[in-house]
Structure formats: structure tokens, C-alpha cells
Amino acid sequence: FSGLEACELDQTQYGCRIDNRQCTCAYGCRSEFRYLTRKECQDALKGRAGDICSGNPCLNGGACIQVSQMPGYKCRCEGTGFWGNRCQLPCPEARHTNFPYECIVI
């Protein structure tokens, strides 16, 4: 989990999502979880439900994580040298005031 997304207590729940072709279940923000149970998540992995990440929507080595908000996935771009909704934008070389957090190398 990114640890970057915060939500109100009434917007939290236990849920599951597909993360790197495995079901990850935890307690967190509703928007982070597409499935309410591990079984729903595992059924999706077996092809009984749509796995939006199976089409590899993230570019340049970004990791696809299913979420409940449209479009149904989020790309994690950290460490790729790219940023943007689909990791499609190259990280800028000069650090300016709007430097994307995905481009920060620690």
C-alpha cells in the first residue's frame, strides 16, 4: 500500500484488491479496494470476473493496482523514471516546484 492516501474513518473498510497478480486484503480506504472478500478477489484472478489490470494499462514498468474508483485501476510509477496516470510522462530533470512525487528517488 502506498500510505499516501488518507480518508475519513467512516470511509474505511476491510477489502481486497489484485496487486501484482495476487489478492491483497487489508483494512483501509474504501477507494483502495475493489472486492469486499478474498473469495471475490480470487474469483477475479481465476477469470470469473474482469481483471482490469490484465491488459497492462500501466506503461514503462508501472505497477497496476485495482481500485474501486473509475477507471478501476491506479498505476504506481515509483522507481520507473516516469509519472502520470499511466506512467506515460518522463520525469523532469530539473527539480521545479511541481516535481512529481513519483520521480523522487530516495
Tens digit of each residue's pLDDT (9 = 90 or more) over 89-101: 998 876 666 778 7
Domains in the chain with CATH codes: 9-103 (2.10.25.10)
Evaluate if residue 2 carries a pLDDT over 60.
Answer: no
- Is the peptide bond between 71 and the residue preceding it cis, with omega within 30 degrees of 0? yes
Average pLDDT over residues 53-65: 90
Nearest to 101 by CA among 82, 47, 7: 82
* Tens-digit pLDDT profile for residues 29-53: 888 888 888 888 888 887 755 668 8
Question: What φ, ψ does residue 12 adopt, rounded to 5°?
Answer: -105, 155
Q: Is 5 helix (H, G, I), strand (E, B) or coil?
A: coil
Long-range Cβ contact pairs of 38-47 (< 8 A, separation 24 or more): 40/16, 41/16, 41/17, 44/18, 45/18, 45/21
User: Tell me, what amino acid is at 17?
Assistant: R
* Separation of CA 63 from chain center: 7
CB atoms under 10 Å from CB of 7, counted, come to 13
